């Protein structure tokens, strides 16, 4: 079998030499274990974000879709399609209800949700971890009401593109920020965003003021940093903010970032509710999100897009491409 091992501490954007591809022999299966052959492997921002929590060297974790090749768990017969958290490896052994000891991330395995004929790759995307992050992160925390104005950053990515579409389903006005004109075009023309803004070229403050003259009620934050301060400054009283991610600082040394007092006054004076979440905590509710999202896709209310890279050897390139914004929709690797 082959797997990617992280052998060096990332300094800024991860380098190819920070990873090694290791060939190794898999041991025979023990009771309760299954052997999985990977078919789709996910590349996600959290692989960068959580990096410093891990002791080197470590196997690169991430969510993958695979097929059971051998089984010593009767619940998972040979041929079963599964989602596991085994990461960047072509073959792996897994077991239900394992936990990665170092940070409590479930090293979990579950049967692929009922996708009603949709592509199985969606089980690492819109009908997977990013999908439920959008679903629960937005609905449980922002609690959007019809007619409200919702802003989402990272809007053309896996999570953001779904958040915007859910907000439209809930009857909101939706404004998205993304990093290219092509993305902006896709959000407005295909996904029905009321307005999309290229944060790399536009004046963010003025652009938002023009798009949301009555202020912002809900903000789904995927990126953090300065843009989020600007957006939160335009929020209405009693607005709600979901802190889903802060990709703009994942390549930075957090200890060296300026410790400003920019956010606290606006949270106080506008009485904002600001809440972060880590989606694994809601793992027991994922199926609830999956069935609703599949229904929305099937009835045409949610559109999905994937940025597919082919080949196990191209996982690193797919990962860096995603961090650099090359993806529209979910970045995924076909093995
Ligand atoms: P995306 O599919 O959105 O891919 C990442 C995108 O981030 C890129 O395409 C790029 O798009 C954008 N980006 C990169 N650098 C910057 C920057 N400096 N400023 C602004 N945007 C940037 O990834 P996901 O949808 O999987 O994840 C989105 C966010 O949600 C991430 O922050 C991630 O960590 C978080 N997340 C959190 C979860 C949780 O449990 N809290 C679960 C899942 C995801 P662009 O061209 O627009 O710059």
For the stretch 225-277, pLDDT in tens is 999 999 999 999 999 999 999 999 999 888 888 777 678 888 999 999 999 99
Per-residue pLDDT, averaged over 283-300, amounts to 96
Cα–Cα distance, 175 to 164 (Å, whole number): 8
Residue list, ligand 1 pocket, CB within 6 Å: 44-46, 49, 130, 133, 154, 156-160, 178-180, 183, 222-223, 244-245, 247-248, 277-279, 322-323, 325, 327, 331
Q: What is the interface pTM, i.e. ipTM, of the complex? A: 0.99
Q: Which of 245, 252, 282, 329 to mutate to test the pocket of ligand 1 (most atoms within 8 A of CB)?
A: 245
pLDDT exceeds cutoff 70 at 107: no
Give the pLDDT confidence score for residue 100 in this predicted structure.
57
pLDDT of the residue at 256: 82
The number of CA neighbours under 13 Å toward the Cβ of 187 is 34
DSSP string covering 242-282: EE---GGGTTS-GGGS----SHHHHHHHTT-EEEE--GGGG
Measure 220 CA to ligand 1 centroid, in angstroms. Answer: 12
Residue 293 has a pLDDT of 98
* Ligand 1 nearest-atom number relative to CA 159: 25
Q: Residue 292: left (phi > 0), alpha (psi -120 to 50), or beta?
A: alpha
CA-nearest residue for atom 38, ligand 1, is: 244
Please tell me whether residue 32 adopts helix, strand or coil conformation.
coil
Q: Cα(63)–Cα(291) distance, rounded to whole angstroms?
A: 19
Report pLDDT digits (tens) over 169-224. 999 999 999 999 999 999 999 999 999 999 999 999 999 999 999 999 999 999 99
Find where tokens 């999908």 sit: 131
C-alpha of residue 253 to centroid of ligand 1, in Å: 18
Check pLDDT > 80 for residue 97.
Answer: no
> Per-residue confidence at 99, pLDDT binned at 50, 70, 90?
low
Q: pLDDT tens-digit profile of 32-72?
A: 999 999 999 999 999 999 999 899 999 999 999 999 999 99
Residue corresponding to tokens 């690492």:
124
CA of 244 to the centre of ligand 1 (A): 9
Ligand 1 pocket: which of 138, 154, 178 to mutate (most atoms within 8 A of CB): 154
203 Cα to the center of ligand 1, angstroms: 21
Closest ligand 1 atom to Cα of 49: 34
The region that residue 41 occupies, defined by phi over 0 for left and psi between -120 and 50 for alpha, beta otherwise, is beta
Mutational pocket test of ligand 1: of 44, 222, 283, the residue with most ligand atoms within 8 Å of the beta carbon: 222
User: What are 305's strand-pairing partners?
Assistant: none
DSSP 134-172: HHHIIIIII---TT-EEEESSTTBHHHHHHHHHHHHTT-
Residue 292 tokens, joined: 């609703």
Residue bearing the CA closest to ligand 1, atom 44: 130
Q: Give, for ligand 1, the residue of 135, 159, 186, 289 to mutate: max count of ligand atoms closer than 8 Å to Cβ.
A: 159
**Distances from the Cα of 298 to the Cα of 114, 265, 292, 304, angstroms:** 12, 44, 10, 11
């Amino acid at each position: 079998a082959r797997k990617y091992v992280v052998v060096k501490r990332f300094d800024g954007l991860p380098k190819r030499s920070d990873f090694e591809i290791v060939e190794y022999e898999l041991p025979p299966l023990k009771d309760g274990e299954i052997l999985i052959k990977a078919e789709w492997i996910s590349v996600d921002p959290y692989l960068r974000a959580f990096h410093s929590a891990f002791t080197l060297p470590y196997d690169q974790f991430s969510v993958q879709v695979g097929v059971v090749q051998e089984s010593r768990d009767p619940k998972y017969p040979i041929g079963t399609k599964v989602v596991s958290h085994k990461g960047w490896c072509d073959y792996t052994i897994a077991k239900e209800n394992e936990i990665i000891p170092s940070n409590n991330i479930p090293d979990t395995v579950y049967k692929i949700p009922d996708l009603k004929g949709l592509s199985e790759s969606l089980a690492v995307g819109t009908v997977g971890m990013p999908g439920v992050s959008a679903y629960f992160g937005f609905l449980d925390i922002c609690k959007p009401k019809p007619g409200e104005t919702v802003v989402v950053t990272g809007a053309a990515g896996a999570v953001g593109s779904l958040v915007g579409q859910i907000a439209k389903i809930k009857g909101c006005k939706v404004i998205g920020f993304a990093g290219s004109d092509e993305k902006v075009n896709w959000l407005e023309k295909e996904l029905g965003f009321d307005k999309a803004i290229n944060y790399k070229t536009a004046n963010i403050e003025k652009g938002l003021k023009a798009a949301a003259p009555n202020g912002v009620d809900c903000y789904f934050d995927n990126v953090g940093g300065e843009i989020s301060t600007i957006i939160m400054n335009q929020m209405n009283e009693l607005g709600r903010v979901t802190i889903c991610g802060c990709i703009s600082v994942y390549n930075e040394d957090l200890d060296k970032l300026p410790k400003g007092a920019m956010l606290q006054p606006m949270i106080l004076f506008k009485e904002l509710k600001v809440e972060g979440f880590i989606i694994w905590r809601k793992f027991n509710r994922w199926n609830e999100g999956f069935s609703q999202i599949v229904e929305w896709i099937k009835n045409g209310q949610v559109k999905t897009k994937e940025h597919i890279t082919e080949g196990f050897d191209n996982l690193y390139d797919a990962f860096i491409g995603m961090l650099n914004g090359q993806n529209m929709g979910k970045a995924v690797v076909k093995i």
